[in-house]
Amino acid sequence: MDRQVALEALGAVCNAQITSVQNQRAGGHAGVFQRAGFPGSAAPTLSINSLICAIADGDQTCPVSRNNFARIQRVLQDGGQCSGSDTCFRTAPQERSFIIDESEFFDPTFNYDFSGLQDTETYYRGGEVYERPSGWYRFALKVLNKYDGNTWLGTRYRSTASVPGEWPVSYHGTSKEGAGGIIEGFYKPGSGQTYGRGIYSTPYVNEAVSYAKTFTSQKNGKQYNVILQNRINPQYRQKHNNDKYWLVPIPSVFSAQEEQAIVEQAIRPYGLLLKEV
């Protein structure tokens, strides 16, 4: 799958215009930024470490995400299944911009095509069942040596078993703000916290699809769903709704720097998953 489609997918999950230094050198998307009022040279840099926070911030101004928060609330409070119209998943107009260095953001060595996958065994990661994303294509993010070692990722070239110290896999990751009140009655916050404030994800890829962003590629005209594949630190995770949703709580009293530190220690995206609609 073309790398340009990955940039478009990244823009969809961040609710932003995304270009790269490689595109700018080739005369690619600088014009898009300029037409949108964001000169490419002035666009802030998006790094792997700041990706989840950028997605969460983008969700605050995205009607699609706000609709998704309301749907999560209904599921968690009523214990039912997620449902809704496909129109809920369309991306909103993008008013922000970022630039990335593709060589520092993507790691094609670990790209993987899950499209023909049919598992006959149960896989485990971090002591939890790992539901592999059958039918999706993964653009791997360059996370090796970006944090405090690589133990959280486990080891390469293994089959179904977990290894000590690795973190379990989750999908997607919604806003820290827009989900306020979502799990009232389940999660009882301490002083200074808001009900349900944090980053939400799920260990079930089919559940994550219900909250996916959808975009139409300018590169090939095809329409895709896009979700994140993450690793979650079990020390920071709370389980809800029979393990269907995982929450990383973020107290509202924390500064932006403290929030960033929590996020880096608690949830780390390592793959951008795309599936043609």
pTM of this structure? 0.80
Domain count of the fold of the chain: 1
Q: pLDDT, tens digit, for every residue of 100-123?
A: 999 999 999 999 999 988 899 999
- Determine contact, residues 183/76, Cβ cutoff 8 Å: yes
Contacts of 214 (CB under 8 A, 6+ apart): 12, 86, 89, 90, 91, 223, 224, 225, 226, 277
- Tell me whether strands 267-276 and 137-140 are parallel, antiparallel or unpaired: antiparallel
**Which pLDDT tens digit goes with each residue over 49-104?**
889 888 877 655 434 344 444 444 555 455 555 444 333 334 444 568 999 999 99
pLDDT digits (tens, 9 = 90+) for 154-186: 988 778 999 999 999 999 855 444 343 333 333
